[in-house]
Structures are given as C-alpha cells and as structure tokens.
A and B are shown apart, each in its own frame.
Chain A
Amino acid sequence: MRPRDWLNDLDPCAMELDGFGMLRLKRGIWLGMVVGALMAAGCGDPKAPADSAVHANGSTPAGPALTYDQALALVRSRIPSEKYFSNDLLPKPGQTAPTFEKREKLRISMPWVFNDELAPWYLAQEKKWFDQVGLDVELVAGGPGIDALQLLVAGQVDIGVPAGASFVLHLRNSRTGSDVVAIAAIQKNAPISWIGLDSSIPRNQRSSFKPTLKDLIGKRVGMQPGNDFYLEFALEKAGYRKDAVQFLQAGFTPDPLLAGVMDYYFGWVNNQPRLIEQAGYSNWFALRSFEVGVDEYCDVSVVRRETFEKRGDLLRRYLWALNQAAGFIIERPEEAAAITARRSTDVSLTPAQVLRRFDLQKELMVGNDQQPLLYMSADRWDSLAAGMVQFKQIELPGKK
C-alpha cells in the first residue's frame, strides 16, 4: 500500500492538507528565494562599505556638487551664523558675579551620561558658582536615545548642551527643526580625531607620530554612526576622493582598533585614547580634525530663541558660573579632577583618568582663536555650515 492510500483511510482531511500544504510550502520557499535573489541584485548589499556611504547622504565618490567656496558664499548669504550664535551674554574677562533679584531653577540637558565630559557643570555646582548667582541647577543626563536638543525644543529643559555644533546646524536647518541660539562652547576646537596605533614602537611607549590626512589614504577607518561627513569633508578639502578611504561602521568604543580590524578609529581625542591606554596601548596617535581644516565647537550651550531674547539676565548668570568652572579646570586641574571623578556617577573614573582628559583637552578649551574661554566666532560656524551644505548634511532655507 502506498503511504498516501493508507493515510487516506485514516484521515482524508490530513491527506488534503499534506497534498496541498507541502506543495505550497515548497513553492513559498522557492518564491522567497527568487524574491531574495532579485532584491540582492536590485539593492546590492555593498561589498565596499564606502559605496554605501555614498548612498547614505546622496553625494558621490567624485565629490560634491558645490565647491567649498561656493557653499560658504551661500551660507553667508542665506544662513549666516550671526543669526544663531552669540557671545553677547558671555562674561568679560575678570567680570564679577552678576547680581540677581530672585533665585531661579534651571534645568540643563547634558550631552552624555554623567561622565567627566560634564566637568564644568559639576564644578559650577560643587564650587557654588551657580549658587552664587542664584541658580538652582538640575543636570539632566544624556545618553543613547536621549538627545539634549530634543529635550530643549520640547520645553523639558532651559538649556541644552549637544556634544557638537553640527547638532545645532542640523536642528536649525531641519524641516522639523527649531529656532535655537548657541551661547557658549566649552571646547573651542573639535576633539574629533582619527586615532591609530603606532606599530613601529612597543605598546607601552607613547608615540610621537604626527599623522596627516595622507596617512589615512587606502586605510580602513571606523566611523561612528552618522559621522561620515567629517571625514568626507576633510578628504574633499585636501583634494581626495571619498573612496580613497575605506569607511567602516564602528561603535562607541575603540575595540575594533585594538582588535586590528580597522586602521583608524573615529573618536574624541580627550576620551577614547584613555580607554586605549587602559587596555594597555600607550602607542596611540591621533589626527585631529581641526588640523585638517574641519573644526567645530563642542559641548555647546544652546537655548530657545525665546529664552535668549527674554531671559538674558538668567543666561548671563549661568554663563558666568560656567566660565568660572572652565577656568578652574585650566588653572587647578588636580582639584577639578578629584571633584569630577566623584561626580561622574555613570562611569567609574579615577582622578588620574580625569586629569588625563583635562590634559588632552586643555588646548581645545583654550582654543586657537585668541578669544576668552567659551567665546565663539562667526567664521568657524560658517565654515562648518558650508561643509555641511556641501555634503548635503543640511538643506539651505527656501528649498524643500
């Protein structure tokens, strides 16, 4: 007896199920494979990661449609930085604490979790500078999925501190953006860097190698999500095609660099190198983005336009306290590091580790612009905006 015959005796319905069910499933699998193959052919999972970056922002390996100078001219005529940044509320050097009539509460959203990046705000609290100008400050931690500017725009905080100036430009020029004003920057030169390991020396030695952009050519460079622009901008400024470098996806830690799966890792020179050193590699070196003409302000205090126009007194007090704290880091780094290590509750840090950060970022805080701490300049904002326009990171107003 053939199986189908005796099964028919047992259960005719099962027979029908089997007869059709198995056949349909097979067809379904084949159909799925054909659709999958078509999609693979159509969308082409890229073999070269650089190619996918091309699609990501609409530029091509041949270069952007606008030159930098053309983009800069457009920026200066259509979105000049004077519209969205101001030094007017910053204290003059040596200025005494502003007076106040009543104490006020201030909520500030931070760029990241409570780590040592937030040192100026911890210090302003600990050293009572906020208190001295009548401010009861609540710091709101950032982190993955918690965006300082989103909280600001939604009215959840009074001041937002995004990690970089590019966030401000994105927000202001987004179709779903908002009118905000940048009022101070802790880091006046960008800590953004491409970090590598010097294999010509032992791991426990510090490297004196000073890389140039040329050293990145033909190399595998790990970029954190959403940051390809910085390298594209640097390459274009130096006259290289973007596919001269192999872009790879990287996370927020430099493990892939240590594992040898990439030659350079995109990170902050005052942060990730410490992790690399902790892992036993003192032989790191870094190409800092501002050394290749790509610069931006980092840890920028940003407010809503309404706050800027109506609560100048409050902001002056805030900025005076912040300025005191920034100066304290420069002048008394050991004491500042001890306080910061204690306040960095989300990341376990020793005072020595914090001090290392301060050491690495001192030059960035002081800046190369001959201006007082926290001050910004129109040229740097416009230059960043021009790069972002050039690489279609932002749209100019008037266009959809």
Chain B
Amino acid sequence: MSDRRAYLLMLVSVAVIWLLAVRWSGLPPLTLPSPVKVGEVLWDERSAMLEGTLSTLFTALLGYALANLIALSLAIGSVYIRWLEAFSTPWVVVLKNIPFVALASLLIITMGSSLLPRLIIVVLVCFHPLLANLNQGLKAADRVLIDRMRTLDGSRWEIFRYVLWPSALPYYLAAHEIAFTTSIVGAIVAEWFLSRQGLGHILVQGMTEYRGDRIYAATLISSVLSFGAYWICRATGRHLTRWQRA
C-alpha cells in the first residue's frame, strides 16, 4: 500500500470511528463531542485557535532548535573529547526522566511566566532521541573509510565532514521524526502548566469551562501539527538520503 493511500485510509477511518463512537458509545458531548461540533468551534474561534497554534509552534520550533543545538554539540563533542560522553550520559539519563509536574513549580518560581521555562520543557522532551541517534550514527561510521582518510592525511574536520557526518545523517534524520513531533506535544504540555497562551492554555480553558468541543479542536490541531512535522521530516529525510536509494 502506498503512503498516500495509507494516510487517506487513516483519515477516513478516524472520521468513521469517531462518528460511530459518538452514535453508539452513549458518552455525553462533554466527553465525546461530534466532529460537527468540533468543526464549528474551529471555525467560530478560528482567531483564538490560530493565535494559540502560532504560539505553540513558536515554542515548539524554538525549543526544538535548542534541543538540536545541544544534541549536536554533545554528540560531536563526544567524538573528539573522550570523557564527554561518559560525563554527560548520567546527566542525560536523569534529565530525560524528570517528571515535568515536579519541575513546574520550580520553573515558575525561578523564571516566572516567561518563554524560558516552556523552552526548557520542550528541550527536555525532545533532545534525547536526537542525541542518542547522533551518537549511534557517529559510532557507525566506517572505520576503514576513516583509516583511508587518515592515510590520505585528512584533517579532523575533513574526516568529520566526509565520513562521520554522512554516517550520522540517516540516524539524525530518523531521530527528527520522533523529536520534531514530540516537540509539539512538549510545547503543549509546557503551556498547560506554565503559560497563558498556546494550545496548552486552550486545553486548560476547555477543561475549566467544560468545553469538550474546544478540547477536541485543540487536540485535532495538535495532531495536524504533529503530522505536518512528521511529514516534513520524512520528505526532508528522503531528499537528503536519496543517494542511498540510487
């Protein structure tokens, strides 16, 4: 089955399952609103939804960029500084497993309602897959190729650029498929706890005001964003690694 058909099938299935669930589950609209109600709120509150979406995207993209910066620095640094990986691994393991609920209060106290605490949560959520895959990709570089580079008097930079980086790139791209989509969810969770804006805040409002339609609308937007992020990663990855299929 082609990708396009699979996605089409998924979209149709979701709509059908949703409609059937509304009809047969007996759940109240607060718990399971109809797609029509959700569509209505998406239209009626399009301005607030757009504003929330842009805010979430901004947080997610900026946090994601920072996560990439940190992961790249650590992974590449570990290639040249022997102790760096051993030193950073315990920190990475601890940081990636911190429950954000426990952090929320600390972040509010130390940083207030600014953008920074939200970025920290996004970075914590999505930098680990990037780092893990980069490390793996760099280690998977062909040792024979590296030896030949050295024989040809290649510099460190040249070895990195022409052997290590090409080896790590497919791994790095694969990590983006996880990390980029997770950054959206991370941003929403951060907004839920720490912000007065974004899709996370719309969810808080929806819950407070018993607006099942608004909660589902925000969830739908989040899914579309995550899907878009995934699609961009896939398309970019395919383009950059087309040599593998040649």
Task: List the interface of chain A (C-beta within 8 A of B).
Answer: 1, 3, 6-7, 10-11, 13-18, 20-22, 24-25, 28-29, 32-33, 35-36, 39-40, 42-43, 45-46, 49, 52-53, 55-58, 147, 149-150, 153-154, 167, 170-171, 174-178, 225-226, 228, 247-251, 253, 255-256, 259, 261, 393-394, 400
Contacts and interface: CB of A to CB of B under 8 A. Distances in A.
Interface in B148-188: 148-149, 152, 154, 158, 161-163, 165-166, 169
A24 B166 contact: no
Contacts, number: 167
8 tightest A-B contacts by CB?
A: A226-B208, A176-B212, A52-B196, A176-B29, A43-B54, A13-B243, A39-B58, A174-B210
B156 to A, nearest CB: 12
Contacts of B195: 52, 249
A150 B113 contact: no
A36 B91 CA distance: 29
Interface string B121-149: 00000000000000000000000010011
Interface stretch (B6-14, B101-109, B220-228): B101-109
B204 interface: yes
Interface residues of B, number: 62
26 contacts: A3-B161, A6-B154, A10-B162, A16-B243, A18-B161, A18-B166, A21-B166, A32-B61, A40-B58, A45-B55, A45-B58, A55-B51, A56-B201, A57-B205, A150-B30, A153-B31, A175-B211, A176-B33, A226-B204, A226-B205, A228-B196, A248-B112, A248-B113, A249-B108, A249-B195, A261-B109
Contacts of B105: 251, 253, 255-256
B205 A56 contact: yes
A260 B208 CA distance: 28
Contacts of B109: 255-256, 259, 261
A180 B30 CA distance: 13
Counting chain A CB atoms within 10 Å of each CB, the highest count among B27, B165, B194 belongs to B165
B28 A43 contact: no
Chain B interface, DSSP helix/strand/loop, else mixed:
helix
Interface of B: 27-31, 33, 37, 40-41, 44, 48, 51, 54-55, 57-58, 61-62, 65, 104-105, 108-110, 112-113, 115, 145, 148-149, 152, 154, 158, 161-163, 165-166, 169, 192-197, 201, 204-205, 207-213, 236, 239-241, 243-244, 246
A3 to B, nearest CB: 5
Contacts of A149: 210
Scoring A33, A249, A393, A394 by chain B CB atoms within 10 A of each residue's CB, the highest score goes to A249
Nearest to A260: B109
Contacts of B158: 3, 7
Nearest to A48: B113
Contacts of A248: 112-113
B108 A256 contact: yes
Contacts of B108: 249-251, 256, 261
A245 B246 CA distance: 63
Contacts of A17: 166, 169, 240-241, 243
